[in-house]
């Protein structure tokens, strides 16, 4: 479960780690996209399952190959945290014990509520994730990811955000997920949605087996912006003509890179920032859920708590 991050060399500066993580994620995303090119073209040509969101008159511009769209995943494309749903699936398959699930849920909830990264706390989280996936094969996690998508994630995709992504695809533009989740699970989600590919946290592997090390750092905050910058340069994109979508103020660096930033289901800080800069806002939550926006990532915390309870109940029924 690489999305919590891994132990990274302390001698690197934060900026250097962000650049390394971004470049590694961009390289991995392009590779997976090329491998799926024929399937992606078929998916882009297919009609969307849900009604399209009314498009802005001037955007996206059909046939503009210098433009692309970048979508955050958690609470933007999908309700809740992808890594926690993935963790529920791994717990179900006995990758780790119940006490690890409690610990993982607490670490995620604390981070989302505090809104800051405490170095010692994050280091502990990285060590936990390291112990779970080290020694497992990449192909194994990819296969399990396909199953977990069907079990926990497919029904949590926001139809409104999905329609926005489809509008870009219909305009002939590439659409990328950008997430701190492991690039493997992010790639599964992107493929299942018919998107171009995914930028995600890259874990080191040798001979197809995870070493327990991270390439750079988790793709979070500034690292996402570096990934988008690196991919755009490699793809020959014009960032001023691109769009980015996110729910979190942590993604302001990524949103600020593009000419068309969107705040989707925004937290309080991003909503304020977006209004000050006249960015477009979309909120697909119902009244009760939207009211929780005053607590950072409240919907994500709810998913964590609910997922933990479900997994623990499952454990008790089995025993």
How far, in Å, CA of 211 to CA of 218, rounded? 16
Looking at residue 304, its pLDDT comes to 33
Question: Which portions of the chain are predicted below pLDDT 50?
Answer: 1-12, 54-57, 115-117, 122, 288-319
Question: Could you read off the pLDDT of 183-212 as tens digits, one per residue?
Answer: 999 999 999 999 999 999 888 899 999 988
Looking at residue 262, its pLDDT comes to 97
Looking at residue 179, its pLDDT comes to 92
| Spatial CB neighbours of 275, under 8 Å, sequence gap ≥ 6 | 281
Helices (H) and strands (E) in the chain, counts: 13, 8
Q: Is 243 left (phi over 0), alpha (psi -120 to 50) or beta?
A: beta
Active-site residues, by number, are 72, 74
Give domain limits for the chain.
16-34+59-105+122-283, 286-318
Looking at residue 189, its pLDDT comes to 96
| Topology, domain 16-34+59-105+122-283 | Rossmann fold (3.40.50)
How far, in Å, CA of 126 to CA of 3, rounded? 9
DSSP string covering 174-204: EEEEEEEEEHHHHHHHHHHTT-SEEEEEPEE
Looking at residue 129, its pLDDT comes to 62
Is residue 41 packed enough to be buried (19+ CB in 10 Å), middle (13-18) or exposed (0-12)? exposed
Q: Is the pTM higher than 0.75?
A: no
Looking at residue 131, its pLDDT comes to 65
């Amino acid at each position: 479960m690489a999305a919590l991050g891994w132990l990274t060399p302390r001698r690197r500066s934060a900026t250097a780690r962000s650049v390394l993580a971004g470049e590694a994620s961009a390289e991995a995303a392009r590779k997976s996209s090329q491998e799926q090119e024929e399937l992606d073209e078929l998916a882009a040509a297919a009609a969307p399952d849900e009604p399209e969101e009314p498009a802005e008159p001037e955007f996206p511009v059909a046939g503009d190959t210098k433009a692309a769209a970048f979508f955050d995943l958690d609470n933007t494309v999908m309700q809740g945290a992808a890594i926690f749903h993935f963790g529920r699936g791994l717990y179900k398959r006995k990758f780790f014990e119940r006490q690890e699930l409690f610990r993982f849920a607490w670490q995620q909830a604390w981070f989302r509520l505090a809104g800051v990264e405490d170095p010692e706390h994050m280091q502990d989280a990285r060590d936990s994730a390291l112990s779970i996936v080290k020694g497992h094969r990449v192909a194994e996690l990819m296969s399990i990811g396909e199953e977990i998508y069907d079990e926990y994630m497919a029904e949590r995709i926001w139809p409104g955000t999905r329609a926005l992504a489809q509008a870009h695809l219909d305009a002939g533009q590439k659409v990328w997920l950008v997430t701190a989740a492991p690039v493997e699970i992010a790639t599964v989600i992107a493929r299942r949605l018919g998107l171009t590919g995914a930028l995600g946290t890259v874990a080191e592997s040798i001979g197809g087996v995870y070493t327990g090390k991270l390439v750079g750092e988790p793709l979070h905050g500034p690292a996402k912006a570096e990934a988008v910058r690196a991919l755009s340069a490699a793809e020959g994109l014009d960032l001023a003509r691109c769009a980015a979508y996110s729910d979190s103020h942590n993604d302001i660096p990524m949103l600020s890179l593009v000419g068309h930033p969107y705040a989707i289901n925004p937290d309080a800080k991003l909503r304020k920032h977006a209004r000050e800069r006249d960015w477009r806002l979309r909120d697909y939550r119902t009244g009760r859920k939207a009211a929780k926006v005053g607590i950072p990532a409240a919907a994500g915390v709810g998913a964590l708590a609910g997922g933990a309870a479900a997994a623990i109940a499952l454990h008790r029924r089995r025993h």
